[in-house]
Amino acid sequence: MIRTSLPVKKALKPRRCRSCGNPYVPISSMAKACSVPCALDLVRQANARKEARAKREERAATRVAKEKLKSRADYLREAQTAVNAYVRLRDANEPCISCDRPATWGGQWHASHYRSVGSNPGWRFNVLNIHRACSICNAWKSGNLTEYRPRLITKIGLERVELLEQESPVRKYDIEYLKRLKKVMNKKARRLERRIEQRKEAA
């Protein structure tokens, strides 16, 4: 039998415009927008996503390149910075470990080592050996150890202080260890920051 007419094209079901969200009847199955302005908006959105993705990929590539250029000393500094930041947050409500300056003192706060890093590298990252101190004691008075020790005994106990005063263990910090340490301490610092913010909100 010979057809004498073209088949009737079924109307497409209504759908929501991906740009404005309004319902519309598409003119084709490929249509995603209800109008030309909305179609142009979708194109702009797609281009913005591509640009953002390209920037993320570029930043990731830059980070990888920088990692390859880092020395062990760079990783050592980064790990120490992370540990120090955690200590300052941990002791945020405590006075200077070496003097009577209160936690509310408006100057700069440091993370002060009781046993110095140079002579006791094995205690470098031990958080019992590092405490929040004012910049005056730490930077200008070399830690002000005469006052540091009795306050440290009060804080952590004589047994632990005497342990720190023994010769530090020999440690060789490899790069993988330093990376893990930095990651762990940054995570702990973020947790402390959240707790501090929650206390402030509850006060």
Tell me the whole-structure pTM to 2 decimals.
0.71
Predicted local confidence at residue 81, as pLDDT: 97
Distance CA 130, CA 185 (A): 14
Q: Render pLDDT for 168-187 as a digit per residue (tens, 0 to 9).
A: 888 889 999 999 999 999 99
Distance CA 95, CA 133 (A): 8
Q: What average pLDDT does the chain have?
A: 91
Q: Are residues 119 and 197 in the same domain?
A: yes
Q: Are residues 34 and 79 in the same domain?
A: no
Q: Are residues 120 and 131 in the same domain?
A: yes
Token pair in block for residue 122: 């094995």
Stretch 42-47: mean pLDDT = 91
Window from 33-37, 114-118, 161-165 with minimum mean pLDDT: 33-37
Q: Report yes or no on 198 lying in a domain.
A: yes
Q: Are residues 52 and 113 in the same domain?
A: no
Q: Render pLDDT for 47-62 as a digit per residue (tens, 0 to 9).
A: 999 999 989 988 888 8
Q: Which of these three, 69, 93, 115, is where a domain ends?
A: 69
Q: Report yes or no on 8 lying in a domain.
A: no
HSE-up of residue 81 (Cα within 13 Å, Cβ side): 8
Q: Are residues 113 and 143 in the same domain?
A: yes
Predicted local confidence at residue 63, as pLDDT: 81
Token pair in block for residue 179: 């990376």
The confidence band for 154, taking pLDDT boundaries of 50, 70 and 90, is very high
Q: Are residues 177 and 86 in the same domain?
A: yes
Neighbours of 121 (CB within 10 A): 17
Q: Are residues 56 and 94 in the same domain?
A: no
- Say which residues have a Cβ less than 8 Å from residue 196's Cβ, sequence separation at least 6: 89, 92
Q: Report yes or no on 143 lying in a domain.
A: yes
Distances (CA, A) of 199 to 32, 39, 97, 150, 192: 48, 48, 23, 30, 11
Q: Which of these three, 69, 104, 133, is where a domain ends?
A: 69
Range of the domain at 41: 14-69
Q: Render pLDDT for 108-119 as a digit per residue (tens, 0 to 9).
A: 999 999 999 988
In this predicted model, which residue has the larger pLDDT, 69 or 46? Answer: 46
Q: How far is CA 1 from the centre of its chain?
A: 75
Q: Report yes or no on 9 lying in a domain.
A: no
Q: Are residues 167 and 89 in the same domain?
A: yes
Task: State the total domains in the chain.
Answer: 2
The confidence band for 200, taking pLDDT boundaries of 50, 70 and 90, is confident
Q: Report yes or no on 2 lying in a domain.
A: no
Q: Are residues 89 and 33 in the same domain?
A: no
